[in-house]
Amino acid sequence: MRRRFLACWVILICLLLGACAPAPPRNPTNACGIFFQYPKWYWAAKKSQKKWGVPISVQLAIIHQESHFRADAKPARRKILWVIPWTRPTTAEGYAQAVNGTWRLYLQSTGRSRADRANFDSATDFVGWFAYRVHRRFGISRNNAYALYLAYHEGPTAYSRRSYLRKPWLMRVARKVAYHANRYRAQLAGCASRIPKHHWWNF
């Protein structure tokens, strides 16, 4: 009885502090496994797809590359003399690794004042929003995970200058993102109908 009481208190504290984010999925390279484990993630990605026209598979591939599905992901700190922790190289944070400036623009653009970078629903909406903007600006297909990721990583201004051409390593990463997007798409084709449905009592 006492153990149950303590467990309830832990859950309550986590909810109040917003500190209990889901652990990364057990099989991050399998879309079916991800969504069977976390059906709410599927509902969030599907909602973003309907809103912005960006496939679930592309959203997943970008988030997988950016954070490996870790809500608390941040860039590693620089080190002084290889030992002393110093500042982080960017302000990227959360599932989508959105930086402060772009995140503020997203909040202003969408009116989602309660969005949180450590929330998967917010992350999928952010990725969809960003991909839609570069699709409109550059004519990139919303199915083109390779080009979308290059723009996502570099930002619209640098992408327009083709900064990625000076970064062979980034183009390799973008090809990996495209590979995962294709793989996720094929996996979802065989299992999407079996993912639990979103009913009104699920919140």
Query: Is 1 domain-assigned?
Result: no
The contacts of residue 150 (CB under 8 Å, 6+ apart) are 159, 164, 170, 171, 174
Q: Based on the structure, what is the number of domains in the chain?
A: 1
Residue 152: both structure tokens together: 């996502």
pLDDT (0 to 100) of residue 60: 99
Q: Which amino acid is present at 22?
A: P
**Rounded to whole angstroms, how far apart are CA atoms 180 and 184?**
6
pLDDT (0 to 100) of residue 198: 77
| CATH code assigned at 100 | 1.10.530.10
Element housing 79 (H / E): strand 79-80
Query: Is 175 domain-assigned?
Result: yes
**Rounded to whole angstroms, how far apart are CA atoms 189 and 113?**
34
- Give the pLDDT mean for 93-121: 97
Query: Is 161 domain-assigned?
Result: yes
Whether the predicted pLDDT of 130 surpasses 50:
yes
Contact 128, 54 (CB under 8 A): yes
pLDDT (0 to 100) of residue 17: 41
Query: Is 158 domain-assigned?
Result: yes
Query: Is 10 domain-assigned?
Result: no
- Give the pLDDT mean for 63-82: 80
Query: Is 14 domain-assigned?
Result: no
pLDDT (0 to 100) of residue 10: 44
Query: Is 15 domain-assigned?
Result: no
pLDDT (0 to 100) of residue 12: 47
Instruction: Provide the percentage of residues in the chain whose pLDDT is more than 90.
Output: 77
**pTM of this prediction?**
0.86
Range of the domain at 150: 25-194
- Give the pLDDT mean for 146-161: 98
